[in-house]
Structure 1
Amino acid sequence: MKRIKVLADNEGMSVTAFEAAIGASKGVFSRALANGTDIQSKWLLNVVENYPQYSTDWLLTGKGEMLQAANKTEERTETYLNAELEGVSNAVIHSLQRVISSQEVTIKSQEKTIISLEKQLALLEREIALLRKD
């Protein structure tokens, strides 16, 4: 089971340390590797349960990508994050649109007030000018 060695190497540990990591007795994998014998299914199950990022197909048959499951998980996570960001972006856009609408209403109201005040100022300036003539 050379793939166990590859997996242990990928995890940065010796086969002996890998055996301990999954709760196997010392030599369970080492002996199988040295003798070219099969590994009991319970140990393979422990590997799959403890290292779900590795492809079960790859581990059992050697076919496919070693980290295929991890790549799919990353793709799903990325898709979820993009959708979440898009949802946040849409929420922010809608919120900003409401603020802009509100500000536009305020601006129009203030424009009317300014026009009214300008008219009042013009009237007061005429009255003052008339008072000064007298």
Structure 2
Amino acid sequence: MRERIVKIMEREGLTPSKFAEAIGIQRSAISHILNGRNNVSLDVLTKILERFTYVESDWLLFGKGEMIREHVLTQPDLFINTPINSSKVTDDSEYRKEIIVEKPVYACKQPVIEPIVYPEKPGKNVSKIMIFYSDNTYDTFVPEKDKKE
């Protein structure tokens, strides 16, 4: 199966790292497959067949038949998921039109400003605040109304 994967890579003109990127697997995985360290998993086979739609699955799996399917696009069209013999004909120039997307306008809402009201605890008043410094000194602050003159 390695030889058949190499044939697909040669036909597409891809290096192993570009091939891994094209089918959505890690570069190390394709390296291990090509070096014979690992066998090809079902996930890798599925990704190859999904990406390169012209590859005949019997050829890839068993080496039977021809590499290229009959009645299938030789290059996958990543934008349209329709069979080649579909009656729908697309105009390539339609995809090349410039579409101007306007920048959305966001209306800024005014912030709601509410005062913070702390509930007063009856019978409790600040009588003294002490601040201790790292040099082992301190300051004491007493509210004006409690200062004794």
Q: Tell me the TM-score normalized by structure 2.
A: 0.46
1:73 lines up with 2:72 in the alignment: yes
- Once the two structures are superposed, the pairs formed by residues 10-25 of structure 1 within 5 Å of their partners are 10-25=11-26
1:47 lines up with 2:48 in the alignment: yes
Unaligned runs of 5+ in 1: 82-134
SS in 2 for 1:73: coil
Aligned partners of 2:45 and 2:84: how far apart in 1? 27
Q: 1:30 matched to which residue of 2?
A: 31
Structure 1 runs of 4+ with >2 Å offset: 71-74
Provide, for residues 49-72 of structure 1, a one-character-per-residue CA deviation record: whole Å limited to 9, x for no partner: 1111110111111111001x1x33
Give aligned pairs, total: 77
Task: Give, in angstroms, the shift of residue 35 of structure 1.
Answer: 2.1
SS in 2 for 1:72: coil
Between structures 1 and 2, the one with greater strand share: 2
Between structures 1 and 2, the one with greater helix share: 1
Contact 1:8-1:15 at 8 Å conserved across structures? yes
- Once the two structures are superposed, the pairs formed by residues 1-134 of structure 1 within 5 Å of their partners are 1-35=2-36, 37-67=38-68, 69=69, 71-73=70-72
Q: CA RMSD for the aligned pairs?
A: 2.3
Aligned partners of 1:73 and 1:34: how far apart in 2? 31
